[in-house]
Amino acid sequence: MGEIHILSLFKESFTLVIMLFCSILSITFALERWWYFRSAQASPDEVLGHVRKSLEGGKSDAAAAYCQKHPSAVAQVVHYGLLHAARSRKDLEELMLTKLKEERIKLERFLGVLGTLGNVSPFIGLFGTVVGIIKAFRDLAGSGTGGPAVVARGIAEALVATAAGMLVAIPATILYNYFMRRLKVITVDMEIASARLIVMVGAK
């Protein structure tokens, strides 16, 4: 059985081209989300500590300006709360909850792509394998010669599609779970910051 050349496999198998595209998508969105989460995460104590000092000094505008410039999701929720600090406690809680949901949607952006790639890629690879095996037996029937060697090579090439599917799916699934974990942490941080800010501003 001869060697299997990767470039020739890409030319003969459209499934591998799809898997290559899926892998590029996975890497691109993972890097984009990593960079976004890197700036979106911050300690509630750090943000609220700065806000508390400004409020104690009577500089509510400085506190709002600090949060507005801060890229973290926690700071954005706190900033929204400061803008509406004069409202009743119930209204302030509702407004901050809507802002929290808005920030969560931003965090969830593109995560569905990673989750979908993790679930779908193995099936795409399996489809490519089935098509490759069918092609191998068809070539064997057409040639009438070559014996098991021809089929073995065709099957070996077909199984590359399954391996490619797993190669895309495993990292995508790991990354999806990783970002979902970070999303939960940031969401809890926003909830903590919201509750503490309401107490700090003394909303009634």
pLDDT tens digits, one per residue of 85-137: 888 889 999 999 999 999 999 999 999 999 999 999 999 999 988 888 888 78
How buried is 84 (Cβ within 10 angstroms: 0-12 exposed, 13-18 middle, 19+ buried)?
A: middle
Predicted TM-score of the model (pTM): 0.85
Give 135-167 as a DSSP string.
HHHHHHHHH--STHHHHHHHHHHHHHHHHHHHH
All structural domains of the chain with their residue ranges: 6-201
* Exposure string over 53-66, b if 16+ CB within 10 A, otherwise e: ebbeeeeeeebbeb
What does R_g of the chain's alpha carbons equal in angstroms? Answer: 27
> Do 137 and 153 meet the contact criterion of CB atoms below 8 Å apart?
no
Structure-block tokens of residue 94: 């509702």
pLDDT band of residue 15 (cuts 50, 70, 90) is confident
Task: Indicate the SS3 state at residue 59.
Answer: coil
pLDDT at 7: 58
